[in-house]
Copies of this chain bind each other. A is one copy, B any other.
Amino acid sequence: MHAPSSPAPAPTLSLQEQLRRGNLFAEACPSREVLQHVTSRWGVLILVALLDGTHRFSELRRKIGGVSEKMLAQTLQALESDGFVLRTSFPVVPPHVEYSLTPMGTEIAGQVQTLADWIEHNLSTILQTRAARAEA
């Protein structure tokens, strides 16, 4: 990144730059949608949870505190349709469904976990910042 003192920070990125990583800033770019699935409230937790390996629906529900069936199913579908999660259904009674990460899902889940780990690691600092701000 460029120094704070840069005098002429191109007001808009070059086209090349925008194509490389910037069309995220474009309102209509589909990447925003994918990003939303991945960074959604439950999406993050599901991805990290599945890094531990295959889980059944109810296992996930128990593991992820506070998630409802509806949101779990809904988020799993979104992640599945994006190709991050693999859903395997066994036609037995009672039904048995397993969820696991695809190779692509494993990659992104790793990134997400890195982010989550960072936050947990710095959580005390963050909370102190907030507290200090509240006093002032």
Q: Which residues from chain A sit less than 8 Å from chain B, CB to CB?
A: 1-4, 6, 9, 11-13, 20-21, 23-28, 30-32, 34-36, 38-41, 44-45, 48-49, 51-55, 59, 63-66, 81-83, 100, 104, 107-108, 111-120, 122-123, 125-127, 129-130, 133
Contact = CB atoms under 8 A, between A and B. Distances in A.
Nearest to A115: B111
Contacts of A116: 21, 24, 31, 35
B125 A53 contact: no
A79 to B, nearest CB: 11
Given A65-B25, A120-B24, A122-B104, A53 B130 contact: no
B129 A118 contact: no
Given A25-B65, A36-B41, A65-B27, A119 B125 contact: no
Contact of A83 (B21, B66, B108, B125): B125
Contacts of A52: 1-2, 9, 13
A1 B59 contact: yes
Contact of A115 (B26, B28, B115): B115
Given A53-B4, A54-B1, A81-B130, A119 B34 contact: yes
A27 B66 CA distance: 6
Closest 7 CB pairs of A and B: A83-B129, A39-B39, A27-B66, A27-B65, A1-B53, A111-B115, A31-B120
